[in-house]
Chains A and B, each alone.
Chain A
Amino acid sequence: MEHRSLPATLLVYFFALLLAVVILAPLAWLVLMSVFPAGQLTEKPLEWWPQTVDFSRYVFLLSQADNSAGAAFVSALLNSLKVATMASVMALVVAIPAAWAVSRMPQVGWSLSLVILTYMLPPVALSVPLFMGLAKLGMLNSVFGLALVYLSILAPFTTWLLKSGFDGIPKELEAAATMDGASLLQTLRIITLPLAMPVIATSALFAFLLAWDEFFYALLFTSDQRAKTLTVAIADLAGGRVSDYGLIATAGVLAALPPVIIGALLQRALISGLTSGGVKG
C-alpha cells in the first residue's frame, strides 16, 4: 500500500463522503417522501423530516379490495413479475444452446455478431410493425405477447453474456466426457451446464432486471390490468395527475425494491457479468 500524506487522506475521505451523499440523498428522499404525513410535503419552507411517519400509502397501494386503486397497482406488480420471468426464461432457452454453439464453433460466430448488432436498433424502429403484428395475432395487451417482444432485448444480451461464460469452461472437460462415450446432450447436462450455472444465473438476473425496467413497449402494447406493467403504472401516476407526491414516491419505492434487492445481494455476480465482456475486450 502506497503511503498517503494527511491532506491526501482527508481529501479521499471528503470525496468518499461526497459520493455517499450524492448516491444516497435522492434515494433517501424518495423513501422519506413516501412516509411523510399528508400535506407536509407542500409546506413552505419544506421540512426535511416527517413530523410523524405515515405508512398509509403503502397500505393503500397494496390493498387487495376489489376494483380499487390498490388492486390495480398490485396487478401491475404481478404483471411485471410475470412478464419479466417469462421473458427471462424464454431468453435463456434460446440463448444457452446458441451461446454454447458459438463458444465451441466460432465459425458460426458471425451470426451472433449480427444478433448483437440489433442492440443498436431503437425500439421505435420496430414498434409500428410489432404493434400491427401483435394486433393481428390478438396478442396486444397480453403478458405473453409483451414477453415475446422483450426477447428482442433480452435474447441478444443473454447470449452475449453466456458466450463469454462458456468460453471460460475448458473444452477439454467436454472432450473427456465425450471420449467416455457420453452423448452431446449428456455432456452438456453433466459437465457444461453445472459449471456454467453461475453465469446462467447472472444472465437470468440481468434479463430480469432489463425486463423489469422496460417501459416503451409496455406503454404501447398494454392497455389495462390484464397486462399493464409497473413502469407504465408509475408513469401514469407521475403524469401530473396525482396531487399527493407521497403516493407517487411510494409507488416508486415499491417498484424499485425488487431490482435494488437483487442488485445489492448479487452485486459481485452482476459486476463480473457486466465487465466480463468489457474487460476482455
Chain B
Amino acid sequence: MKLFIRSILAAAAMGSTMLSAPALAETKLNALFMAQAAYSENDVREMTQRFMKANPDIDVNLEFVPYEGLHDKTVLAQGSGGGYDVVLFDVIWPAGYAENGVLVDVSDRITDAMKSGVLPGAWTTVQNDGKFYGMPWILDTKYLFYNKEMLKQAGIDAPPATWDELNEQAKILKEKGIVEHPIAWSWAQAEAAICDYTTLVSAYDGSFLDSDGKPAFQAGGGLEALQYMASSYNSGLTNPNSKEFLEEDVRNVFQNGEAAFALNWTYMYNLANAGEDSKVAGKVGVVPAPGIEGKSEVSAVNGSMGLGITSTSKNVDAAWNYIVFMTSQEVQDGYAKLSLPIWASSYEKPEVTNGQEELIAAAEKGLAAMYPRPTTPRYQELSAALQVAIQETLLGQTSPEDALNAAAENSGL
C-alpha cells in the first residue's frame, strides 16, 4: 500500500512537472531565505544550483534577507501576485500564517516515508492545528559553546552542567584574569533575545502561556529565567555589550577569543572551530545548554525552521519539488556542517558525524529537550513585548517582575 501511494505520488509529481513545464518554457520560482545562522548563503546557493541542474526546466531565484526581515517580507509579499513561491519560516509563525492564509496546506503531500524518517521534534516546526504547512529544514537549538583552552587555563575540567555552575566557572575565569567578560549572549532587542530567554525558561521549567492561552511567564520559571539573565548581566560575568548583540556578534566575540562561553546555534560550531577567520579554531567545545538542579538536566529552545509554499504561488508543484529536494536526506547530509539534518538515520552516518562528534553528542540531548516558544497568531506582538521587558530589566530600568507584568499586559493576549 505504502509503495503504491508513493509511486502514485511520484507519478503525479512527474506528471505535474511535465504539464507545468513544457520542454522549452521555464518555470520560475522565487524563494525567500535568510542570510544568517544555519546554512550559509553559499550553501543555499549551491544546493539550489544542484536542484536546477537536476531540473533544467525550473529556474529558482533566491532572495536573502536578515532574519528580522523574514516575517514582514513574507507577509508583505502576500499582497503581490508575483511574490515568493517558497518561503523559509520560523517555528513560531505557522499559527499567524495559517490565520492569514499565507501558506499552502501540504498535509496531503507529506509521504509516510517522510513521516517516519524525520525526527518527531522537527515536525512540530511546520504543524499548526494538525495541518502541515511545509517541510522542516533547519533543526536547531541553542547550545552552550566553551573555549577549551580557557577552561583548562583556569583549571576547570568539565564544562558546566547547570546554569549555576556556569556562573561559578565564569567567576573563576574572570578572577584569574583569563577573560574579562566570560559569557556572551545575543540580547539585542530582537527575536534572538527571546531564544536565549526561552532556553532559560525551559531550564527553570516555566511556561509562557497557561491552558487558556493567557500569559503565564510573569511568575515561576518565566520570572526566574529573567532574574537569572539580570543577575548574570549585573555580575559583570556577561559581556555588557550582549544587550546589543545578535548571533553574528556573539560569534565574532567568541571566535575572536573574547569570551569563554557563548550561547548560540549549531552553525557556530564549525565556523568557530574550523573557520579560517577564527582565532579559537580547534579549541571549541560544545554541550547542550545546562539545566537547573532539581528542575532540568539540559535546556533548549526550539529554533527550527521550515520551508513552505505561499498561497499566492502559481507553481505549487515545482515549489514542492524544490522543497523536497532541499529537505532531502541526501542534500542535508552533504551540508551538515552548519545545520544538522532533520532525518533520524543521518545521525548514524559517518559523513554527517565525522569531525563533529561533540556537536552530535550535544544535539542528541539538546534536540530532545527543545522547548517551544508560544504558539499564537499574535506571536509578533508577544515577542516584541517580551524583548522590551528583557531589555528594560537588563538596563536596570525596572524589576523583572514589573517588566514581565507589563509585557503580559502589552502582549495582545
Answer whether A and B touch in the complex at a CB cut-off of 8 Å: yes
A→B interface (CB under 8 Å): 38-39, 42, 67-69, 72, 131-132, 134-135, 138, 140-141, 220, 223-226, 228, 236, 239-243
Measured CA separation A239–B81 after assembly (Å): 27
B252–A42 CB distance below 8 A: yes
A131–B277 CB distance below 8 A: no
Q: A243 — which chain B residues lie within 8 A by C-beta?
A: 248, 251-252
B69–A138 CB distance below 8 A: no
Q: B19 — which chain A residues lie within 8 A by C-beta?
A: none
Q: A236 — which chain B residues lie within 8 A by C-beta?
A: 35, 64-66, 69
Which of B61, B79, B248 sits near A225, CB closer than 8 Å?
B61
Q: A68 — which chain B residues lie within 8 A by C-beta?
A: 45
CB-based nearest A residue for B46: A67
Which of A39, A138, A224 sits near B63, CB closer than 8 Å?
A224
For chain B, residues 99 to 153, give those with C-beta under 8 angstroms from any C-beta of chain A.
Answer: none
Q: A140-B77, A236-B35, A243-B252 are in contact. Are A223 and B83 (CB under 8 A)?
A: yes
16 additional contacts (CB under 8 A) given A138-B82, A140-B81, A224-B63: A42-B256, A67-B62, A134-B79, A135-B79, A140-B80, A223-B73, A223-B76, A223-B77, A225-B61, A225-B63, A226-B82, A228-B63, A240-B246, A240-B248, A241-B67, A242-B248
A241–B66 CB distance below 8 A: yes
Q: A67-B62, A223-B73 are in contact. Are A241 and B48 (CB under 8 A)?
A: no
For chain B, residues 325 to 375, give those with C-beta under 8 angstroms from any C-beta of chain A.
Answer: none
Measured CA separation A19–B212 after assembly (Å): 62
Measured CA separation A140–B69 after assembly (Å): 17
Q: A141-B77, A223-B80, A223-B84 are in contact. Are A240 and B256 (CB under 8 A)?
A: no
**B49 located at the interface, meaning its Cβ lies under 8 Å from any Cβ of chain A in the complex:** yes
B79–A239 CB distance below 8 A: no
**B309 located at the interface, meaning its Cβ lies under 8 Å from any Cβ of chain A in the complex:** no
**B30 located at the interface, meaning its Cβ lies under 8 Å from any Cβ of chain A in the complex:** yes
Which of B62, B65, B83 sits near A141, CB closer than 8 Å?
B83
CB-based nearest B residue for A145: B80
**B319 located at the interface, meaning its Cβ lies under 8 Å from any Cβ of chain A in the complex:** no
A38–B277 CB distance below 8 A: yes
Measured CA separation A66–B256 after assembly (Å): 33
CB-based nearest B residue for A69: B41
B45–A220 CB distance below 8 A: no
A141–B82 CB distance below 8 A: yes
B83–A140 CB distance below 8 A: yes
Q: Which 5 A-B pairs have the closest CB atoms?
A: A140-B80, A239-B66, A135-B79, A224-B63, A240-B246
Q: B247 — which chain A residues lie within 8 A by C-beta?
A: 241
**B194 located at the interface, meaning its Cβ lies under 8 Å from any Cβ of chain A in the complex:** no
Q: B79 — which chain A residues lie within 8 A by C-beta?
A: 131-132, 134-135, 140
Task: Give 1 or 0 for each of B235-260: 1 = CB within 8 Å of chain A CB.
Answer: 00000000000111101100010000
A224–B36 CB distance below 8 A: no
B35–A39 CB distance below 8 A: no
Q: B48 — which chain A residues lie within 8 A by C-beta?
A: 67
A135–B80 CB distance below 8 A: yes
A240–B64 CB distance below 8 A: no
Q: B63 — which chain A residues lie within 8 A by C-beta?
A: 72, 223-225, 228
**B188 located at the interface, meaning its Cβ lies under 8 Å from any Cβ of chain A in the complex:** yes
Q: How far is the CB of A227 from chain B (nearest CB, A)?
A: 10
Query: What are 8 pairs between A and B in contact, CB < 8 Å?
Result: A39-B277, A131-B79, A135-B80, A140-B82, A223-B32, A228-B63, A240-B66, A240-B190
CB-based nearest B residue for A135: B79
A241–B80 CB distance below 8 A: no
B80–A138 CB distance below 8 A: yes
B49–A67 CB distance below 8 A: yes
Q: How far is the CB of B216 from chain A (nearest CB, A)?
A: 31
Measured CA separation A39–B257 after assembly (Å): 13
Measured CA separation A226–B32 after assembly (Å): 13
Q: A223-B83, A236-B66, A241-B67 are in contact. Are A67 and B45 (CB under 8 A)?
A: yes
For chain B, residues 1 to 57, give those with C-beta under 8 angstroms from any C-beta of chain A.
Answer: 30, 32, 34-36, 41, 45, 48-49
Most buried by A among B67, B73, B79, B249: B79
Q: How far is the CB of B67 from chain A (nearest CB, A)?
A: 7
Q: A140 — which chain B residues lie within 8 A by C-beta?
A: 76-77, 79-83
Which of A38, A72, A131, A141 sits near B64, CB closer than 8 Å?
A72
**B165 located at the interface, meaning its Cβ lies under 8 Å from any Cβ of chain A in the complex:** no
**B68 located at the interface, meaning its Cβ lies under 8 Å from any Cβ of chain A in the complex:** yes
Q: A226 — which chain B residues lie within 8 A by C-beta?
A: 61, 82
B81–A138 CB distance below 8 A: yes
Measured CA separation A131–B188 after assembly (Å): 30
Measured CA separation A141–B73 after assembly (Å): 11
A239–B83 CB distance below 8 A: no
Q: A72 — which chain B residues lie within 8 A by C-beta?
A: 62-64
Measured CA separation A228–B76 after assembly (Å): 14
Q: How far is the CB of B272 from chain A (nearest CB, A)?
A: 11
